[in-house]
């Protein structure tokens, strides 16, 4: 028995060490980019691992960039409007699919599933061509409206609405409530966890998306923050503290939402992971 | 009579509710798929709009060495991502094992390794680009310089021998947490009674893993592996940020090549042909996955 527990301790030590090493590979790059933002020079030999006297010059430089506030505003505007639109549209859709029987219902839902099988990124090419034809390149409508057609949200909400008991709706409809009243007053409150998950996922994904804006936008005044920082980071400047600060500011909203709603993110992985 | 009108009323309601999403979905999702196929039969460069039939496809399949390079790269990416899945599975087994006592640590590790997944590829890619460009690489790896697949002093991302391996490692690093969380969910679903029964029977942990955990996890492992391979054919973001397909197209992917033709060379028809080939491949892989699910469920 003593032999056995000794072996257990050995195994625990090995596992513990491996997990610490793996965690370190995640903490170190994020630590290092923070150190750069605070003025640690990692570009001379030997590199500095610690910021010398905490200079916030990187943050000051990026905030003083003439377009910075505009970019932050654009990012919030795009992510929020797309998320609100996607959620309203897909919740109404999911409600109809789970609560009504009508000819063509099967076909419609099958089409949505089919669309999820096609790589979204490739679809950007013809959409880009369409927008160009419609004169919607570099417009707010062009950047905000197409991503609202979120099949992922429709799928996620359909899954959750199915588990909301239908007796409630029936009781309400006998009382004379209309479809939208039932949806917003009864179904959505019960399906709250799924709504929160879909909201967080949509918002973070759209805040992070740079490929779509890269394609649709041509002038820097409409850039979201990630795209503005990306262009600065890719054009060979030597202002590493400014770029590092920009990278950190881009990460901040997503990371805050993640830390606040970590359980919802883990739930979203399960639903989305089996379909993403 | 009354019932009839009520019924048609309900049907009208249903259509009214379905239409807003469906309209947007058809305009910005389904129609573009068809439209993309349509565009691939045209020469659409320099403002021309000439129907050229299958010529784009013939060019892609018979004269485009970069397209084939991108397919070769996809195989490398897929191999690396599959290796990453093995690491994720091992990590999930470690986190969920009874050897580790601290629950708080288990939660903390999950939270840390999942973090990159919520961050934009634009920020992550820039972060790695700037770190790999710094003298940290020389400083930390200097002692091992004889064993490295790349020269020190230049970012490994700009060296043909190393770029794709470094880039795919970074993608594996980013997705490790996501896949680990997924596998942990699968491990949690294994009934405790079976595990306890085997412990009472005195089965060693290796036997338990071989005879219980692995067989029960198999459907999920197969599923996640196919999903990962399907995802490989769509890889674009990290490539665009970190290497833009370079050096010498050693890191390009089919999607990246399609985009490069459309955006950088203005060859929309040609890019659409590459895109359509990708859609076809992904579609076939999806059908395969569907068959696999049916087999297991």
Interface of A with B in 9-38 (CB under 8 A): 11-12, 15-16, 18-19, 22-23, 25-27, 29-30, 32-33, 36
Contact B25 A115 (CB under 8 A): yes
Q: Decide if pLDDT at A162 tops 70.
A: yes
B222 touches A: beta carbon within 8 Å: no
Averaged pLDDT for residues A43-55: 83
The pLDDT value given to residue A44? 85
Least trusted range by pLDDT, from A45-49, B133-137, B201-205, B222-226? B201-205
Does residue B294 carry a pLDDT above 70? yes
Residue A128's CB is within 10 A of a number of other CB atoms, namely 23
CB spacing of A254 vs B120 below 8 angstroms: yes
If you average pLDDT over residues B200-212, what whole number do you get? Answer: 83
Q: Do A19 and B259 touch (CB under 8 A)?
A: no
> Shortest CA distance to A12 belongs to which of B98, B90, B210, B107?
B98
pLDDT at A231: 94
Residue A276 has a pLDDT of: 40
**Of the partner residues A105, A123, A255, the one whose CB lies closest to the CB of residue B115:** A255
User: What sign results for the dihedral spanned by CA atoms A95, A100, A101, A102?
Assistant: negative
CA distance B119 to chain A (A): 6
Query: B123 and A234: CB-CB below 8 Å?
Result: no
Contact (CB<8Å) A22/B128? no
Residue A108, pLDDT above cutoff 70:
yes
Cα–Cα distance for residue pair A240/A238, rounded to 1 Å: 6
* pLDDT tens digits, B45-63: 877 888 999 999 999 999 9
C-alpha angle A26/A30/A31, rounded to 5°?
A: 105
> Which residues of chain A have a CB within 8 Å of the CB of B115?
26, 30, 255, 258
pLDDT higher than 70, residue A87? yes
Question: Between residues 158 and 177 of chain A, which touch chain B (CB distance below 8 Å)?
Answer: none
pLDDT for position A2:
55
B241 closest CB neighbour out of A207, A230, A266: A230
Interchain proximity B275–A29, CB inside 8 Å: no
Average pLDDT over residues B255-278: 94
Predicted confidence (pLDDT) per residue in A120-151, tens digit:
788 999 998 888 889 999 999 999 999 999 88
DSSP string covering B96-148: HSTT---HHHHHHHHHHHHGGGGS-HHHHHHHHHHHHHSTHHHHHHGGGGGG-
pLDDT for A4 equals 64
CB A143 within 8 A of CB A149: no
Q: What is the DSSP string of chain A?
A: -HHHHHHHHHHHHHHHHHHHHHHHHHHHHHHHHHHHHTT---SSSSPPSS-SS---HHHHHHHTSTTHHHHHHHHHHHHHHHHHHHHHHHHHHHHHHHH---TTHHHHHHHHHHHHTS-HHHHHHHHHHHHHHHT-TTSHHHHHSGGG--HHHHHHHHHHHHTS-HHHHHHHHHTT--HHHHIIIIIHHHTHHHHHHHHHHHHHHHHH--HHHHHH--SGGG--HHHHHHHHHHS--S-HHHHHHHHHHHHHHHHHHHHHTHHHHHHHHHHHHT--
Per-residue pLDDT band at B258 (split at 50, 70, 90): very high
Q: Does B21 touch chain A (CB under 8 A)?
A: yes
Residue B127 with chain A: CB contacts under 8 Å = 29-30, 33, 247
Residue of B nearest to A204 (CA): B118
pLDDT at B1 over 70: no
Q: Quick one: average pLDDT of B198-224? A: 86
When scoring A121, A122, A145, A248 by the number of chain B Cβ atoms within 10 A, the one with the most, hence best to mutate, is A122
CA distance A94 to A74: 29
Reported residue count of chain B is 297
pLDDT at A155 over 70: yes
Mean pLDDT of chain A: 90
Does the structure show a pLDDT above 80 at B3? Answer: no
């Amino acid at each position: 028995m003593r032999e056995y527990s000794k072996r257990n301790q050995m195994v625990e030590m090995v596992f513990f060490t491996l997990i610490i090493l793996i965690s370190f590979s995640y903490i170190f790059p994020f630590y290092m980019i923070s150190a750069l933002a605070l003025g640690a020079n990692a570009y001379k030999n030997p590199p500095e691992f610690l910021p010398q006297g905490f200079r916030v010059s990187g943050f000051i430089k990026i905030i003083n960039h003439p377009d910075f506030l505009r970019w932050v505003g654009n990012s919030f505007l795009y992510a929020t409007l797309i998320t609100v639109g996607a959620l309203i549209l897909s919740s109404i859709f999911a409600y109809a699919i789970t609560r009504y029987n009508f000819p063509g219902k099967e076909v419609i839902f099958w089409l949505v599933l089919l669309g999820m099988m096609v790589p979204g990124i490739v679809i950007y090419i013809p959409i880009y061509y369409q927008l160009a034809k419609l004169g919607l390149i570099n417009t707010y409508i062009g950047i905000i409206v197409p991503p609202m057609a979120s099949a992922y949200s429709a799928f996620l909400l359909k899954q959750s609405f199915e588990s909301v008991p239908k007796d409630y709706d029936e009781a309400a409809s006998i009382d004379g409530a209309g479809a939208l009243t039932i949806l917003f007053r009864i179904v959505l409150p019960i399906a709250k966890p799924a709504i929160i998950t879909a909201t967080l996922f949509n918002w973070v994904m759209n805040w992070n998306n740079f490929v779509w804006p890269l394609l649709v936008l041509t002038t820097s005044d409409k850039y979201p923050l990630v795209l503005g920082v990306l262009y600065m980071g890719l054009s060979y400047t030597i202002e590493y503290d400014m770029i590092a600060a920009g990278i950190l500011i881009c990460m901040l909203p997503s990371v805050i939402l993640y830390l606040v709603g970590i359980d919802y993110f883990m739930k979203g992985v399960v639903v989305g992971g089996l379909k993403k | 009579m009354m019932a009839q009108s009520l019924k048609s009323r309900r049907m009208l309601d249903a259509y009214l509710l379905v239409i807003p999403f469906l309209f947007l979905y058809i305009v910005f999702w389904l129609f573009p798929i068809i439209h993309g196929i349509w565009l691939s039969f045209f020469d659409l460069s320099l403002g021309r709009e000439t129907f050229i039939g299958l010529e784009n496809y013939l060019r892609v399949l018979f004269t485009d060495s970069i397209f084939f390079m991108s397919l070769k790269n996809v195989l490398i990416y897929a191999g690396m991502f599959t290796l990453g899945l093995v690491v994720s599975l091992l990590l999930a087994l470690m986190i969920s094992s009874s050897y580790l006592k601290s629950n708080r640590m288990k939660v903390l590790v999950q939270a840390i390794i999942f973090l990159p997944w919520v961050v934009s590829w634009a920020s992550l890619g820039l972060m790695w680009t700037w770190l790999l460009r710094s003298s940290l690489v020389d400083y930390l790896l200097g002692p091992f310089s004889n064993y490295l697949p790349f020269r020190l002093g230049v970012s490994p991302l700009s060296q043909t021998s190393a770029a794709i391996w470094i880039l795919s490692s970074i993608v594996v690093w980013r997705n490790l947490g996501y896949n680990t969380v997924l596998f942990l969910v699968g491990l949690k679903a294994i009934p405790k009674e079976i595990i306890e029964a085997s412990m009472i029977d005195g089965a060693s942990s290796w036997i338990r893993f071989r005879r219980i955990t692995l067989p029960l996890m198999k459907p999920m492992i197969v599923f996640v592996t196919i999903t990962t391979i399907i995802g490989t054919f769509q890889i674009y973001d990290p490539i665009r940020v970190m290497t833009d397909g370079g050096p010498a197209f050693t890191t390009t992917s089919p999607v990246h090549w399609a985009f490069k033709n459309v955006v950088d060379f203005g060859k929309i028809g040609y890019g659409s042909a590459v895109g359509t080939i990708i859609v076809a491949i992904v579609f076939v892989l999806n059908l395969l996955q569907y068959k696999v699910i049916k087999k297991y469920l």
